[in-house]
């Protein structure tokens, strides 16, 4: 019996073998390189060619970038510094950035008032924080609602009662909507839009002037003609982004509505705005918009541009959101109806959250394109960063400078647009985790 058992059992383990390290080829950096760079002979050839192209590009760009010219005060001095070090005079002249960085960022804004746009940027980030990241006390939302008017006051200055009177227009809209919502939802929405517009056109200015005469409180005014640089791009871009999102959502709901007039008006607005290039609408804001205002009205050009860019962006946002609404399963609408929810309740609680989640990539993509398109304002006389490059190169000290200015401006726009893209990915991952 023991001989038979010895023949059928080849090995009996009597102890545990110590854990061994995996083979070098199957762990760490070597494994990653094998799997991602050299998995096949074709991929190996492409990897080697790619590395050569990267090396070739960097070997030409890095020496140009690494230039000891930050202390130069003119293009001629840059060349003198490079010649003194025995280096090529074709390297970058970074002295122009050190000399004109404030102009590229703030335009012709008074230097002694730089603290105001800087503080306005801090207020902007603080005001957006509860909206973008949540987890803030509810009372902080009041600061978020007040932040646009505080930013306007800091940037433009003047009487504090002007932004206060403008803010009262929104209060008029909210009061009108709540007063008429129980009677008729459509009438309430129309009143909430029309009454504030009429108030802003005819009452906001005189009211602010009257209160200013009684209680003159304010700071030194700064005209829009002194705005410029990256600050101007942020003012136009952020204002249009914040205002176009709710307007685009309302247009999307209007286009999907069963009401004939509302649908046709929404479709007409969207198609007309989208069918004309942005540069044409900017010329319209610059030249023609004043003809539609009451006689004697002097409407600020920057504000006109903000309004036109907002309307242009809202038309694209409306189509993105409409795609999200179409992607929501029909059962969600039917489920809201079965619960006895009204149209606005179902949209607010069930349909719109799902549609906006689906639309996040398209919305952020539209915002990024909008922010970059703010450079088009140079064609109507506003000095954005690209417009200021011409003014800087026209000076005797920096005549002949090109790439350094464009590289600096490109880095600024890349940081802003890349941040928006990363936030979009963060929001998508957050919503996916919450739905698990």
Span 303-330, mean pLDDT? 91
Q: Where is 159: in which H helix or E strand?
A: strand 158-159
| pLDDT at residue 231, rounded to an integer | 93
Residue 5 has pLDDT above 60, yes or no: no
Query: Mean pLDDT over all residues of the chain?
Result: 86
Exposure of 46 in the CB half-sphere (CA atoms within 13 A): 8
| pLDDT at residue 10, rounded to an integer | 64
* Nearest C-alpha neighbor of 188 from the set 337, 348, 344, 351: 344
How far is the C-alpha of 380 from the C-alpha of 373, rounded, in Å?
Answer: 13
**DSSP label of 17:** P
3-state secondary structure of 88: coil
Lowest mean pLDDT among 39-43, 287-291, 357-361: 287-291
**DSSP label of 397:** T
Residue 6 has pLDDT above 60, yes or no: no
Q: In the 3-class helix/strand/coil scheme, how is 20-89 assigned residue by residue? A: CCCCHHHCHHHHHHHHHCCCCHHHHHHHHHHHHHHHHHHHHHHHHHCCCCCCCCCHHHHHHHHHHCCCCC
Residue 290 has pLDDT above 70, yes or no: no
Residue 314 has pLDDT above 90, yes or no: yes
Residue 436 has pLDDT above 60, yes or no: no
| pLDDT at residue 317, rounded to an integer | 95
How far is the C-alpha of 176 from the C-alpha of 173, rounded, in Å?
Answer: 5
CB atoms within 10 A of CB 265: 15
Residue 153 has pLDDT above 90, yes or no: yes
Phi/psi at 127 (5° precision): -70, -30
Please, are residues 176 and 195 in contact by the beta-carbon 8 Å criterion? yes
Please, are residues 102 and 114 in contact by the beta-carbon 8 Å criterion? yes
Q: What is the pLDDT of residues 388-412, one digit of tens each?
A: 888 888 888 888 888 899 999 999 9
Please, are residues 358 and 321 in contact by the beta-carbon 8 Å criterion? no
Paired tokens of 117: 């746009």
Lowest mean pLDDT among 12-21, 40-49, 217-226: 12-21
| pLDDT at residue 293, rounded to an integer | 64
Q: What are the structural domains of the chain? A: 40-95 (no CATH), 114-156 (no CATH), 158-219 (no CATH), 225-436 (1.10.3720.10)
**DSSP label of 221:** -
User: Which has the higher per-residue pLDDT, 11 or 126?
Assistant: 126
**DSSP label of 219:** E
| pLDDT at residue 3, rounded to an integer | 55
Span 255-281, mean pLDDT? 90
| pLDDT at residue 66, rounded to an integer | 87
* Nearest C-alpha neighbor of 92 from the set 69, 119, 120: 69
Residue 23 has pLDDT above 60, yes or no: yes
Please, are residues 149 and 158 in contact by the beta-carbon 8 Å criterion? no
Please, are residues 104 and 230 in contact by the beta-carbon 8 Å criterion? yes
Please, are residues 342 and 188 in contact by the beta-carbon 8 Å criterion? no
């Amino acid at each position: 019996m023991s001989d038979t058992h010895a023949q059928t059992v080849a090995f009996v383990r009597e102890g545990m073998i110590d854990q061994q390290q995996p083979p070098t080829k199957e762990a760490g950096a070597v494994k990653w390189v094998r799997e991602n760079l050299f998995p096949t002979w074709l991929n190996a050839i492409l990897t080697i060619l790619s590395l050569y192209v990267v090396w070739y590009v960097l070997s030409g760009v890095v020496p140009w970038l690494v230039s000891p010219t930050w202390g130069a005060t003119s293009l001629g001095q840059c060349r003198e510094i490079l010649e003194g070090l025995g280096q090529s005079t074709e390297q970058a002249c970074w002295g122009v950035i050190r000399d004109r960085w404030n102009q590229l960022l703030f335009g012709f804004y008074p230097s002694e008032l730089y603290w105001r746009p800087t503080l306005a940027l801090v207020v902007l980030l603080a005001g957006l924080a509860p909206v973008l990241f949540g987890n803030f006390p509810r009372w902080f939302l009041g600061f978020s609602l007040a932040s646009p008017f505080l930013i306007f006051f800091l940037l433009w200055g003047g009487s504090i009662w002007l932004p206060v009177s403008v803010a009262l227009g929104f209060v008029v809209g909210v009061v009108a909507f709540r007063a008429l919502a129980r009677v008729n939802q459509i009438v309430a929405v129309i009143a909430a839009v029309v009454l504030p517009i009429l108030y802003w056109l005819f009452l906001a200015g005189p009211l602010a002037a009257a209160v200013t005469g009684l209680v003159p409180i304010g700071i030194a005014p700064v005209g829009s003609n002194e705005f410029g640089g990256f600050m101007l791009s942020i003012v136009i871009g952020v204002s249009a982004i914040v205002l176009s999102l709710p307007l685009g959502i309302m247009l999307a709901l209007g286009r999907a509505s069963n009401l004939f007039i509302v649908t046709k008006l929404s479709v007409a607005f969207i198609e007309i705005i989208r069918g004309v290039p942005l540069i044409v609408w900017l010329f319209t804001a610059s030249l023609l918009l004043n003809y539609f205002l009451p006689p004697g009205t002097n409407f600020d050009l920057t504000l006109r541009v903000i309004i036109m860019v907002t309307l242009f962006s809202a038309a694209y946002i409306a189509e993105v959101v409409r795609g999200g609404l179409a992607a929501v399963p029909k059962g969600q609408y039917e489920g809201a109806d079965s619960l006895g929810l009204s149209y606005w309740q179902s949209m607010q609680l069930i349909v719109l959250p799902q549609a906006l989640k689906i639309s996040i990539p398209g919305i952020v993509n539209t915002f990024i394109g909008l922010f970059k398109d703010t450079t088009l304002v140079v064609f109507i006389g506003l000095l954005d960063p690209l417009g200021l490059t011409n003014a800087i190169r026209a000076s005797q000290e920096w005549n002949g400078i090109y790439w350094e200015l464009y590289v600096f401006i490109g880095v600024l726009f890349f940081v802003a647009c890349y941040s928006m893209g990363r936030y979009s990915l963060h929001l998508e991952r957050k919503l996916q985790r919450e739905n698990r």
